[in-house]
Structures are given as structure tokens and as C-alpha cells.
Amino acid sequence: MKSITTKTTISYFQILKKAITLLRINPTKIIAITAIVAIPGSILRVAQLDTTTNASLLSTFSGMFLIVSLTWAFLNEKDLSKRSFANIYVISSSRILPFIATTILVSLIGIQLIVGAYLVVLYMSGLFPFVVNVAGIIIILISLYLLLRLSLSMILVVGNDITSIGSLKLSWKLTKGNLLRLLFAWVAILLTVIIIGWVFLYFINLIPVISSNSIVSALCDGIILTIVTPILISCEVELTKSLQ
């Protein structure tokens, strides 16, 4: 992998085009990889389980396996073509622990962002001095900067035999000099996924039986996740490739 120390061209349309190419390699297998976790996971969030089972925790953990498997599959296009979806889950599982560790480390910055936003809200209540607002804005800006610099780490930790710290360092190196381009790319990717998900959700909610039944509604949420998750991850993978 070459070192990136200068500005790199990041084209959203090229990323989207390459992501669509990835999705067309084997759509059926990609849907299978996603649906086997996304649909049961969505239903588990609303189903009544025994008191010793935390459905939310279970679906979150299985969701991490899904993300790792899809990421690994998109990074290894030939394996996506020739391996079964079960085999992809088994092989990619070797990267689950580094992925979880990386996710936790990046999430700490997310907590910092929430703290900054909370300080701004406290100031807006009128009960705290202006310095609280300034502190909150500074924390928010620093958090956003760190999140951008480390935004590739969860893709990198799956695609390389490195530790979570190693993936953070590599993401920091690859994003150097590309912050504005990276920001615009992330905003465009997220807006694309949100719009696609909203369109499906809008039309699904027009069916009365869906909005009135929590299990059926959760099933539909799982179907929407099955559609948008591969789109998001394939775009993330192509964004990361564009900086390597």
C-alpha cells in the first residue's frame, strides 16, 4: 500500500459507479449475506425474548459480523464471486475482534462529540455562561476533525492484517491533505443512503397492515437494511480504495 501525503482526487460519482459495479458482481449472494442478519436482527429488537436475553445487544453484535463480512467480500471481489456466503462469514470472522476494538476506539470520539453538543444545549438554556458554548463548539469541531481523519479505519482493519491502533494510524495517513474532499464524499454517500432508505420506507408505510403491526414493520425495516447496508459499505470500500 503506497503512502499518501498529497491531495488525492475523490469523486463521489466515480465512487458510486464503482460501488454499483461491486454490487452487480453477485447481487443474490450480497442480499443473502445481508438478509440473514439484518432481517432477524430487526425482528429481535421488537420481539419478546426471555429476561436473560438482551435482544438489542445480540442484534448489534450480529450486525458487526455482517459489516465485517460485507466489507471483506467487497475488498476481495474474486472471493465474492466464487465463495458461498457462509464461507465468506467464516473467513472474514478472523477480523471481527480487531474490528470491534476499532469501533470502540472511534466510538469514544463520538461520545466526545455528544458531550460538546450537550454543552451547547446547556448554554442555549440560558443558565450557563458563554464560555460553555465556546467549549462545546471547540469540542464538536475537534471531534468532527478526528472522526474524518479516522473514518477509514474500520474498512482498513478488515482489509489488512493490522491491529486496531494500526488501522487508526493508517487512516490518519491516508486522509492527510484530503479533509474537505473526504467530508463532501461522506456527506454525499450518507445522503444517498438516507434518501434511498427514506423512499423505500415511505412507500412501505403506505400499506396499513405494516404500520399497525410491530413485527411486520420490523420485518420491513430488515428488508430496507438489506438494501441500503450493501450500498453504504460498498461506497465506503470504494472511498477507501480511492485514497490508497
How far is Cα 56 from Cα 53, in angstroms, rounded to an integer?
9
What pTM, to 2 d.p., does this model score? 0.86
> For residue 85, is it within any domain?
yes
> For residue 219, is it within any domain?
yes
> For residue 2, is it within any domain?
no
> For residue 128, is it within any domain?
yes
Answer positive or negative: Cα dihedral of 112, 118, 123, 127. negative
Answer positive or negative: Cα dihedral of 22, 28, 34, 39. positive
User: Tell me, what DSSP letter sits at residue 166?
Assistant: H
182-226 pLDDT tens trace: 999 999 999 999 999 999 888 887 777 776 777 788 888 889 999
> For residue 21, is it within any domain?
yes
Residue 194 identity: I
Directed axis angle between helix 85-92 and helix 55-75, to 10°? 100
User: Tell me, what DSSP letter sits at residue 206?
Assistant: T
Residue 182 and residue 175 in contact, taking contact as beta carbons nearer than 8 Å:
yes
Residue 167 and residue 102 in contact, taking contact as beta carbons nearer than 8 Å:
yes
pLDDT at 85: 85
83-116 pLDDT tens trace: 888 899 999 999 999 999 999 999 999 999 999 9
Burial of residue 161 (CB within 10 Å: 0-12, 13-18, 19+) is: exposed
> For residue 197, is it within any domain?
yes
Percent pLDDT > 70 in the chain is 91
Directed axis angle between helix 214-242 and helix 12-23, to 10°? 120
> For residue 7, is it within any domain?
no
> For residue 179, is it within any domain?
yes
Across 65-80, average pLDDT? 92
Q: For the chain, how many residues are written?
A: 244
> How many folded domains does the chain comprise?
1
- 150: helix, strand or coil: coil
Within 10 Å of residue 82's Cβ, how many Cβ atoms? Answer: 8
- Note down the domain range covering 79: 12-242
